Amino acid sequence: MRFIVQFIAIVITAHLLGLFLPWYACAAVAFIAGYFLKSSQNFLAGFLAIAVLWTFNAWMADLDSSSSLPLRVAQLLGVGSAGMVYVLTAVVGGLVGGFATMSGAMLKTEN
Amino acid sequence: MRIIKLLVSLFLTIGLIVFLDSRWVIMGSPIPPLGKFLSPFQGFWNNLEPDDVTDSDPLTLRGVKNAITVVYDTLAIPHIFASNDMDVYFAQGYVTARDRLWQMEFMTHAAAGRVSEIIGAGPDGVILDYDRGQRRLGMVYAAKHALEALKQNQDEMIMVEKYTEGVNAYIASLSYESLPFEYKLLDYRPEPWTALKCALLIKSMAQSLCMSDKDMEMTNSLKLFGADTVDLLYPDREDVGDPIVDHPGNWKASRSIPDSIPLALPADLIKLIRLPRPDPGIGSNNWALSGQRTASGHPLLSGDPHLNLNIPAIWYAIQLHTPNISVIGAALPGVPGIVIGSTDSLAWSITNSQRDLVDWYAITFQDARRERFLLDGEWIPTVKDVEHFRVRDHEEVMDTIVFTDWGPIPYDDHYHPDDNRNQYAFRWVAHDPSHDLAGIYKLNRAKNLKAFDDALQTYASPAMNFAVASTKGDIGMRIAGRFPVRRHNEGRFVLDGTRRSSGWQAFIPAEDQIASLNPARGFESSANQYPVDSTYPYYITATSFEAYRNRRINERLKSMTAATPGDMMALQMDHFSLMADENLPWMLAQLDAKSIPEEGRRIAQSLSEWDRMNTPDQTMPIYFALWIRNVLTLSWDEISEANVMLERPTTFTTLRLLKTQPTLSFFDRQATPEKEQAGDILRQSFILAVDEVNRWKKEHPDLDLTWTNFKDTRINHLLRLGPLSESVMGGGSADAINALSRNHGPSWRMVVSLEPSGIRMWATYPGGQSGNAGSFYYNNLIPSWEQGRLYELQMLADPTEGSEHALYTLHISNE
């Protein structure tokens, strides 16, 4: 249950702050959620929250556009297909979210 | 223990963020900052544009006088409605930057030799070498001269200053998330736009069109083969016929023309690396039909300038409207005004004039310090310019360029010392101050042929053949530009830089320039061929003139009596090869059955039955193109294999000599003991061509053997990145009217009908209005351009007229 609360809190707050703060604001959000909403699976919650958030927003942008930019980016980054750019986006965001949440949770344990 | 775990975790988090927020170069390839780049809030996902753009928010911008309305039509072409000149150029700058900022800035960097600031020195320093070359050719020097001249002309000042303000208003509105894609990919930011950048882009166009020369190659030929052979292999005027303007006996020379010029032949012939030369595929077509040849009884104008095929495209379609201007057509992103297009009563299109506007002067320096050089017996001081190159991921590089009164010294002991032109001064007509924008300013307001002629009086560079037609029923052709009055042979070879008398003494006055109005034949046309009949008093020389396309155009136009805009579009797509048609019969006659294998005999039979059309799905164009290529290689082996800088004669001259002088000693191949003649060259090159086709088939097992697959036309992204480039299926060839080769072709296709009730324009180009690879409008025009189906562009009288066709409308007002 705490896991779900933590997950949802990160998704919503990171989304709102993401609209006007630099990309790494999601790490601050995840860190705070790790501290105050510590769960049994902090890394997983943070990873999934940012990965889902980023993938969903990327998908929304892609949905309205017939442009093949994701495929072009895949070829530029040498990852093959547009699907792999989604995976890469999810992993990059997820890792930052996961480590930040885990760090926040560890700080809590210290007190 | 827990503290350590916490610290490790924190360290990993922060390290990860720093890593993902930085640009990396891994094994030579740059990786954008992945966190920033992949974030859907700010990164590249943000460059994905929805297809259905709706009304955007009104903008308030400082620098705007009155309200401006911009109607974007369904092709995303902006139609700007402003109440005065200042606002219209401000808005042109703003909307162009909105669609093409990255391209505009990158092209100015390329012109100014600053690409290495963005992408580094490149493999083996090629990018830095290119940058140094640009500065050494005097590109910035030329642009600075243009800028000084511009400050003396009110109209040009308004154009450039307001345009610059408009671009900067857009740049000021950008945050990381709204940066064009390429800035994110390469991780850098735009710098402020300047008037100098506008000037640099005009010079960049001049560089691609009129910086070509073969002075050193010709000089070497003269030394190696003598004057008679030079005239035989490289005639100033090939026996082609059909000059652009044919008015025998109607020319006068208001400037006296000296007979000859002393030559300055260099002592040694040295092997060298040559400057990048514009591909001979760069050419263009334009023509104007008078009412006597059209179905409507009113003139038709057609234009398709050929350039390197790049994406984002070289042109940007736009309409400018104020109470004093109504003009629509193709603008160069980064330059105010419209370069090719139509006002509400007059349409024009341009082709390159090809003339030689470049000279190289042998310099005698006083000593190795090169602080003085000899001129008319005196030691004149040089100017040394230290150029700085802020190379990315590298320390700053400096380069000293020596300037003489003639111009810069591009090649010396510090830059390509093995070039034959080491220590020669470079003189280019576009180095001089001139009022080119004033020409565009007036052209964009011209209502009749008189205003058109007046507009081009001061136009200097790049020199162009302007075809024109008006709603009053007139058609005309004017070759406008700054042309030196040349003495016989002047400009063909390198010149003596120790005497002022070697320099250009005067320029051809506007009243003596080549022009024509309402000719009896009922049409004007140009396709980079020789400009004028033999009675024109001024000496003309060039790297080469076009020999086939122009005659095909005239042949077709002569047959037209009731031409429609559709006929013009079809003619732009004409795939007929006149080169094949007039040469294949005698070429095939040289192939005797005994000496050719069975497969070759079948191909020869098919070639003789070929309809001479370079249509996409045929195979015969492949055999013909490869046959010609091998004919050139085998014929001129002594030229390609010589250890000095030499130029091969043109295809036209090669074929003419093979046909008329089959025993010419050049046709004897150096590598063989036999004594070859023209027939042997043709047979051997035919067999080589057949072998090459078979090799291609083996190397491309998945592809059908068709002309389009073989030709493999590509529209390259400006950064030469494959994933951002486009592949094209199409026919055509350099000698066909649809002059589409591998990387060159029609960069804009336009037809205008000049009806008394108003003009009607159709156009398309290889690309799209948006420079953003995340937009539907990045490449949406390519299919129509491939197939020659032009879109009708509406010249709107007011914003409400357009609203029914509009994608959306942008309102701009003062703060």
Whether residue B211 contacts residue B358, with contact meaning beta carbons closer than 8 Å, is answered with yes
pLDDT score recorded for residue B685: 96
**Alpha-carbon gap, residue B333 to B105, rounded angstroms:** 9
Residue A50 at interface with chain B, using a CB cutoff of 8 Å: no
Residue B16 at interface with chain A, using a CB cutoff of 8 Å: yes
* Domain membership flag for residue B321: no
Would you say residue B323 has pLDDT above 90? yes
Residue A102 at interface with chain B, using a CB cutoff of 8 Å: yes
Whether residue B332 contacts residue B312, with contact meaning beta carbons closer than 8 Å, is answered with no
Strand partners, B69: B81, B811
Q: Give residue-wise pLDDT tens across range B125-135.
A: 999 999 999 99
- Give me the number of domains chain B comprises: 1
Supply the DSSP string of B198-222, one letter for each residue: HHHHHHHHHHHHH----HHHHHHHH
Would you say residue B643 has pLDDT above 80? no
For residue B735, CA distances in Å to B162, B424, B574, B611, B752 come to 42, 35, 11, 15, 24
* Domain membership flag for residue B654: yes
User: DSSP 3-state assignment of B80?
Assistant: strand
Residue A22 at interface with chain B, using a CB cutoff of 8 Å: yes
Nearest CA in chain A to B6: A106
Q: Where are the domains of chain A?
A: 2-110
Whether residue B284 contacts residue B306, with contact meaning beta carbons closer than 8 Å, is answered with yes
Assign B779 a pLDDT band (cuts: 50, 70, 90).
Answer: very high
* Partner residue opposite A72 with nearest CB, options B10, B12, B723: B723
**Mean pLDDT, to the nearest integer, of B567-581?**
97
* Partner residue opposite B17 with nearest CB, options A24, A57, A60: A24
* Domain membership flag for residue B307: no
Residue B202 CB contacts under 8 Å (≥ 6 apart), including other chains: B143, B146, B332, B335, B436, B437, B461
And the tokens for B312? Answer: 């984002």
Assign B274 a pLDDT band (cuts: 50, 70, 90).
Answer: very low
pLDDT score recorded for residue B478: 97
Alpha helix ranges (H) inside B350-467: 436-443, 449-455
Contacts of B38 in chain A (CB under 8 A): 54, 85, 88-89, 92-93
The number of residues in chain A equals 111
* Partner residue opposite B40 with nearest CB, options A61, A76, A99: A61
Would you say residue B792 has pLDDT above 80? yes
Whether residue B271 contacts residue B643, with contact meaning beta carbons closer than 8 Å, is answered with yes
pLDDT score recorded for residue B277: 47
Nearest to A109 by CA among B3, B10, B11: B3
Average pLDDT, chain B: 92
For residue B207, CA distances in Å to B13, B114, B140, B429 come to 51, 16, 12, 11
Strand partners, B308: B744
Residue B716 CB contacts under 8 Å (≥ 6 apart), including other chains: B308, B309, B310, B311, B725, B743
pLDDT score recorded for residue B48: 95
> Can you give the residue range of the structural domain that contains B664?
578-612+619-705
**Alpha-carbon gap, residue B217 to B269, rounded angstroms:** 10
Contacts of B50 in chain A (CB under 8 A): 64-65
Q: In degrees rounded to 5, what are phi and psi of residue B783?
A: -60, -40
- E strand or H helix at B647: none
Contacts of B176 in chain A (CB under 8 A): 22
Residue A29 at interface with chain B, using a CB cutoff of 8 Å: no
Nearest to B759 by CA among B440, B348, B332: B348
Measured between CA atoms, how close is B712 to chain A, in angstroms?
20
**Alpha-carbon gap, residue B612 to B548, rounded angstroms:** 13
Contacts of B181 in chain A (CB under 8 A): 69
Whether residue B302 contacts residue B572, with contact meaning beta carbons closer than 8 Å, is answered with yes
Contact check, Cβ <8 Å, A109/B36:
no
Q: Which of residues 47-66 of B touch A (CB under 8 A)?
A: 47-52
Would you say residue B268 has pLDDT above 70? no
Percent of chain A with pLDDT over 70: 97
* Domain membership flag for residue B541: no
Residue B36 at interface with chain A, using a CB cutoff of 8 Å: yes
* Domain membership flag for residue B17: no
Residue B7 at interface with chain A, using a CB cutoff of 8 Å: no
**Mean pLDDT, to the nearest integer, of B420-430?**
92
Assign B371 a pLDDT band (cuts: 50, 70, 90).
Answer: very high
pLDDT score recorded for residue B2: 79
Assign B14 a pLDDT band (cuts: 50, 70, 90).
Answer: very high
Q: Give residue-wise pLDDT tens across range B758-774.
A: 999 999 999 999 999 99
Residue B31 at interface with chain A, using a CB cutoff of 8 Å: yes
Assign B249 a pLDDT band (cuts: 50, 70, 90).
Answer: confident
In a mutational test of the A interface, the residue from B6, B12, B39, B776 whose CB has the highest number of chain A CBs within 10 Å is: B39
pLDDT score recorded for residue B264: 53
Residue B723 at interface with chain A, using a CB cutoff of 8 Å: yes
pLDDT score recorded for residue A53: 96
**Alpha-carbon gap, residue A9 to B474, rounded angstroms:** 73
Q: Give residue-wise pLDDT tens across range B129-187.
A: 999 999 999 999 999 999 999 999 999 999 999 999 999 999 999 999 999 999 999 99
* Domain membership flag for residue B642: yes
For residue B106, CA distances in Å to B200, B334, B749 come to 11, 10, 25
Assign B424 a pLDDT band (cuts: 50, 70, 90).
Answer: very high
Q: Give residue-wise pLDDT tens across range A56-79.
A: 999 999 998 989 999 999 999 999
Chain A, chain B: beta-carbon pairs less than 8 Å apart: 119
Contacts of A77 in chain B (CB under 8 A): 31
Contact check, Cβ <8 Å, A23/B47:
no
Assign B55 a pLDDT band (cuts: 50, 70, 90).
Answer: low
Residue B177 at interface with chain A, using a CB cutoff of 8 Å: no
Q: Give residue-wise pLDDT tens across range B465-498.
A: 999 999 999 999 999 999 999 888 888 888 889 9
* Partner residue opposite B39 with nearest CB, options A23, A73, A85: A23
Longest dimension (CA), chain B: 102
Whether residue B23 contacts residue B35, with contact meaning beta carbons closer than 8 Å, is answered with no
**Alpha-carbon gap, residue B552 to B800, rounded angstroms:** 44
Would you say residue A109 has pLDDT above 90? no
Contacts of B780 in chain A (CB under 8 A): none
What is the helix, strand, coil percentage profile of chain B, to 5? 35, 20, 45
pLDDT score recorded for residue B705: 96
- In this structure, of B106-115, B481-490, B627-636, the range with the lowest mean pLDDT score is B481-490
* Domain membership flag for residue B472: no
- E strand or H helix at A26: helix A25-36
Assign A25 a pLDDT band (cuts: 50, 70, 90).
Answer: very high
DSSP strand pairing (B424-428 vs B358-362): antiparallel
Contacts of A57 in chain B (CB under 8 A): 40-41, 45
